[in-house]
Structure 1
Amino acid sequence: MGEQKRNKNNNQHHKETFIFGKRNYQFMLIGLGVIALGFLLMTGGGSNDPNVFNPEIYNWQRIRLAPMLILLGFGIEVYAILTHPDKKNN
């Protein structure tokens, strides 16, 4: 009888919670979007003929902008992980 009562009380108070809050997941998605944008900006600039050099591969977008966006995205991911989840007082 006592064990059933304890199990009943534990089940009532046990509530599934996520490790991260809604705000954390939003920042994670934003960070993934920025990283994906950086990789998309890094693509291209190649040549169909391997004997022909295409100087577009050294475009500022591929050399400076894209890596900075990727690093910014990783920074956003770190912030999303380290931010305290939303806590609501009940």
Structure 2
Amino acid sequence: MAKDKQAGVPILTRDQPAPKIAATTTLPPKAAPTRSSVVEPVRRDTAAALPFGRQNYTLMLAGIGIILAGFFIMSLDKEEFGFGFLGLTLGPLVVMGGFVLEFFAILARPKA
């Protein structure tokens, strides 16, 4: 068995068996952990578990309301096949505004 010159660590080869290490001290046996008969529920930090905060959910609900309002505005158009101002211009713009609000609600960082 050769020794490494820098660290003094023995280098093992396949032909040589590993050196035997003598046990210097023995540790006392550890006592088995005791369990209480009352089981306490595991509490988790609910703020860290939810991906969105209260503000995110509020903005999402507002966005859904705006989208539904846009579809309602489109249904109010009295022109044939909905080709009036409400069906072609105002309603779709309101719906797009609702989707923009949804996009913002998803990407907004929840406040701690």
- Quick one: distance in 2 between partners of 1:69 and 1:78? 14
Of the candidates 23, 26, 47, which is equivalent to residue 58 of structure 2? 26
TM-score normalised over the length of structure 1: 0.68
Aligned to 1:49: none
TM-score normalised over the length of structure 2: 0.56
Q: Which runs of 4+ in 1 moved over 4 A?
A: none
Of the candidates 90, 94, 102, which is equivalent to residue 69 of structure 1? 94
Higher helix share: 1
| Deviations 1:43-84, CA, capped at 9 Å, x for gaps | 1557xxxxxxx5473210111000011111000000000000
Identical-pair percentage: 29
Structure 1 portions without partners, runs of 5+:
47-53
Whose Rg is larger? Answer: 2
Of the candidates 71, 74, 85, which is equivalent to residue 60 of structure 1? 85
Structure 2 portions without partners, runs of 5+:
1-32
